[in-house]
């Protein structure tokens, strides 16, 4: 009899900007996000006689597993293979996707119903944004309504499919990391309050440019809104991260791409990952090639990806049987 293995693939996400970090209208943060086809976190989870975790992020997986075993009162042990992981501390939601991929896979293996919001809270995820958790259920471009007075996850208040032809150009600086951990907490504590005027403008841009642009597949309108939101948010966080972009190399690359005709340049969350949008695959490849010709991609890795309109893939399979080697006697 073969053992069961659950395979989970969870999408990275772009964070396109906060709506109102200053809580001028009673709810704090709020944000716009987009699920991506790549990179993704992929786990294979099976029962085992002893704990074995392989692949990247093994220590974090073990910590999440400990929380989930206690939460679900599970007595068994598991074999977990992390086949790929979203790069950590690059602004692509790696921590939330890793934690919830493990939680969803474990529940699937044990025949338990999914509880993404509850597991996110138990694992310490989604404290400022409900986007990462929502993308486990369904992808697309989404807006969350921020944190209210009650200690509940920010609700997703709008969601659209991302146009199939559009492409996202990602720019990664090698071996670089954005602000995270205690430095992130300190940054939020020490920065001045986000202005009411900027929050109002971002909210209007989201409602009147970003969302209609996606709904009507108008990349010019969408890009104008995203670029302006990024300028407002980036200016606010610049004192903490050293500029509108956390990486000067990424900043130069994004400026070059914008000059070449890319749409909606920006930085995802604390970065250092930068992004830009193109109307199709051919346009995206041309933009990347021309930026390279201008020397704007040195020290960076650029990747062209699609938006992801579906959520995480969670699949139960039969494990591959181990071949039995028979001894040969002469």
Residue 241 predicted with pLDDT over 70: yes
**Residue 326 domain-assigned (yes or no):** no
Residue 253 predicted with pLDDT over 50: yes
Report the percentage of the chain scoring pLDDT > 90. 79
What average pLDDT is seen over the chain? Answer: 92
Residue 325 predicted with pLDDT over 80: no
**Residue 330 domain-assigned (yes or no):** no
Provide the domain count of the chain.
Answer: 1
**Residue 15 domain-assigned (yes or no):** yes
pLDDT average, residue stretch 68-84: 95
Q: What pairs with residue 170 in β-bridges?
A: 275, 303
**Residue 329 domain-assigned (yes or no):** no
Q: Which of 119, 120, 118 is nearest to 131 (CA)?
A: 120
Q: What is the pLDDT of residues 217-236, one digit of tens each?
A: 999 999 999 999 999 999 99
Minimum mean pLDDT among 117-121, 149-153, 272-276: which range?
Answer: 149-153
More confident: 212 or 176: 212
* pLDDT score, position 330: 38
Q: Which of 103, 106, 85 is nearest to 94 (CA)?
A: 85
Range 277-283 contact pairs with CB under 8 angstroms and sequence separation of 24 or more: 277/166, 277/167, 277/168, 277/169, 277/219, 277/222, 277/223, 277/226, 278/166, 278/167, 278/168, 278/169, 278/219, 278/304, 279/165, 279/166, 279/167, 279/219, 280/165, 280/166, 280/167, 281/165, 281/167, 283/167
Q: What is the CATH number of the domain that holds 215?
A: 3.30.230.120
Q: What is the pLDDT of residues 281-298, one digit of tens each?
A: 999 999 999 999 999 999
For residue 280, the enclosing domain spans: 4-317
Residue 189 predicted with pLDDT over 90: no
């Amino acid at each position: 009899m073969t053992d069961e293995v659950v395979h989970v693939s969870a999408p990275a996400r772009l964070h396109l900007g906060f709506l109102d970090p200053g809580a001028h209208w009673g709810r704090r943060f709020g944000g716009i996000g987009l699920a991506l086809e790549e990179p993704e976190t992929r786990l294979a989870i099976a029962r085992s006689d002893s704990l074995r975790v392989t692949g990247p992020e093994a220590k974090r997986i073990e910590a999440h597993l400990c929380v989930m075993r206690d939460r679900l009162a599970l007595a068994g042990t598991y074999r977990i293979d992390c086949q790929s992981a979203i790069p950590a501390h690059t602004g692509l939601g790696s921590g939330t996707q890793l934690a919830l991929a493990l939680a969803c896979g474990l529940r699937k293996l044990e025949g338990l119903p999914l509880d993404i919001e509850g597991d996110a809270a138990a694992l310490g995820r989604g404290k400022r944004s409900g986007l990462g958790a929502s993308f486990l259920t369904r992808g697309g471009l989404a807006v969350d309504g921020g944190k209210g007075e009650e200690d509940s996850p920010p609700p997703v208040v709008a969601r659209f499919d991302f146009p199939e032809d559009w492409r996202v150009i990602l720019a990664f600086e090698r071996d670089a990391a954005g602000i995270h951990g205690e430095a992130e907490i300190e940054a939020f504590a020490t920065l001045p309050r986000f202005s009411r005027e900027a929050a109002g403008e971002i909210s209007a841009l989201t409602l009147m440019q970003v969302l209609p642009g996606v709904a009507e597949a108008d990349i010019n309108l969408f890009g104008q809104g995203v670029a302006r939101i990024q300028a407002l948010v980036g200016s606010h966080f610049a004192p903490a991260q050293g500029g509108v972009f956390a990486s000067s190399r990424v900043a130069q690359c994004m400026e070059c791409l914008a000059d070449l005709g890319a749409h909606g340049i920006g930085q995802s969350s604390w970065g250092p990952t930068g992004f830009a949008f193109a109307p199709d695959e051919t346009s995206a490849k041309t933009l990347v090639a021309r930026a390279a010709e201008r020397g704007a991609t040195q020290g960076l890795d650029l990747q062209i990806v699609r938006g992801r309109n579906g959520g995480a893939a969670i699949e139960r399979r039969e494990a591959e049987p181990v071949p039995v080697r028979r001894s040969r006697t002469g």
